[in-house]
Amino acid sequence: MAGILDKFRLDGKVAWITGASYGLGLAYAVAFAEAGAKKIIFNDINQELVDRGMAAYKERGIDATGYVCDVTNEEQVNALVQDATDKFGGIDILVNNAGIIKRIPMIEMEKKQWDQVLNVDLTGPFLCSKAVLPQMIERRSGKIINACSMMSELGRETVSAYAAAKGGLKMLTKNICSEYGQYNIQCNAIGPGYIATPQTAPLREKQADGSMHPFDRFIRSKTPAQRWGETEDLEGLAVFLASPASDFINGQVVYIDGGILAYIGQDPSQLDASKFQDEATREDVVVADK
Ligand code: NAP
Ligand code: GCO
């Protein structure tokens, strides 16, 4: 008799995680494979990154196929979905993970820079979701998971384009739910807090004198857990949202932030920095050996 934990399995599923050569995308893919996914598909914008990703998956014994595909290029997106469907029978789970950020004061941001961020972070998920939805509708089953953010709820200096995109992605999540939930398709979002990945490495770099980056001190003072998240922290939620266990959850952004959104924060100057002094700055993501 199937037990409750079987509801969290992904046996026989084909999962496409965009931008998953490293970072959170790689962590999601590794977790999906461990939960039983039969095929991991990922893409990145150049062959070098795809090769890097393939090496990472091979090292972990994961059956992955990598594509050179820019999520802002509709022709490349549609070609990936067609090839993956021809070869692997279709895509059951889409994680719209690929994303960029540009930290520039808004009045100094050029339109081209704004457009780049909105294109990758919001139009990309639109194009990738639009490409997989027809087969999910036909199959009467599908999971779409979007990469939202603290900036889906909060603003901060220098991230206007990113916040606009991630706020829009929250509403795109709700709209895909609204329009396609009738076909047993669930579209939810993961809302990570501040996670140690290459994207946030500049915010954690030690200062020349070896002291904490001011933003590192700031974000720890805003986080009850007083730490940055690790990719491992997000794996369980990703598997949950990709699995039958979440079939009646739709249109939700699930925040996994160590408590940031619940907490007014403490005075950063009151933080006992000595507790964290020996923590190395994680330049890249090390997905725990499985
Ligand atoms: P990351 O380390 O910067 O990785 C992003 C990945 O997306 C990279 O592989 C990147 O490849 C790829 N990518 C960028 N533009 C692309 C495009 N046009 N087409 C295809 N792939 C593209 O980011 P991360 O920290 O893992 O974050 C992953 C997602 O979670 C992002 O959407 C991010 O906004 C979101 N998020 C991150 C955090 C955090 O604290 N880290 C928190 C909340 C939300 P390249 O190397 O070529 O750019
Ligand atoms: C920043 C960070 C954040 C995180 C994440 C928070 O500059 O504030 O990069 O945007 O990446 O999105 O949830």
Is 257 close to ligand 1, i.e. is its CB under 6 Å away? no
The residue behind tokens 């009850």 is 224
Question: pLDDT above 90 covers what percent of the chain?
Answer: 90
- In short, whether 169's Cβ falls inside 6 Å of ligand 2 is no
> Quick check: 264 pLDDT over 60?
yes
Q: Which atom of ligand 2 is nearest to the CA of 197?
A: 11
Q: 8 C-alpha to center of ligand 1: Å?
A: 25
d(CA 156, CA 159): 6
Whole-number Cα distances in Å, 233 to 116, 195, 289 = 29, 9, 14
Query: pLDDT, tens digit, for every residue of 24-37?
Result: 999 999 999 999 99
Domains in the chain with CATH codes = 9-195+230-258 (3.40.50.720), 198-228+260-290 (no CATH)
Show which residues are catalytic. Answer: 162
CA 198–ligand 1 middle distance (angstroms): 8
56-72 pLDDT tens trace: 999 999 999 999 999 99
- CB of 199 closer than 6 angstroms to any ligand 2 atom: yes
Rg (CA), the chain: 19
Q: At CA 10, angle to CA 74 and CA 167, rounded to 5?
A: 45
What pLDDT does residue 281 have? 55
Distance of CA 19 from the midpoint of ligand 1 (Å): 6
The DSSP code for 195 is B
| pLDDT tens-digit series, residues 126-169 | 999 999 999 999 999 999 999 999 999 999 999 999 999 999 99
User: Which of 197, 228, 232 best tests ligand 1's pocket when mutated (most atoms within 8 Å of CB)?
Assistant: 197
Give buried/exposed letters for 269-280 (b at 16+ CB in 10 A, else e).
Answer: eebeeeeeeeee
Cα dihedral sign for 241, 58, 45, 193? positive
pLDDT at 285: 37
Residue 150 Cα: closest atom of ligand 1 = 43
pLDDT at position 284 is 45
Both structure tokens of 17: 């995680």
Rounded to whole angstroms, how far apart are CA atoms 183 and 249? 14
- For ligand 1, atom 27, the nearest C-alpha belongs to 24
For ligand 1, whether the C-beta of 66 sits within 6 Å is no
Among protein residues, the one with the nearest Cα to ligand 1's atom 41 is 195
CA distance 77 to 9: 27
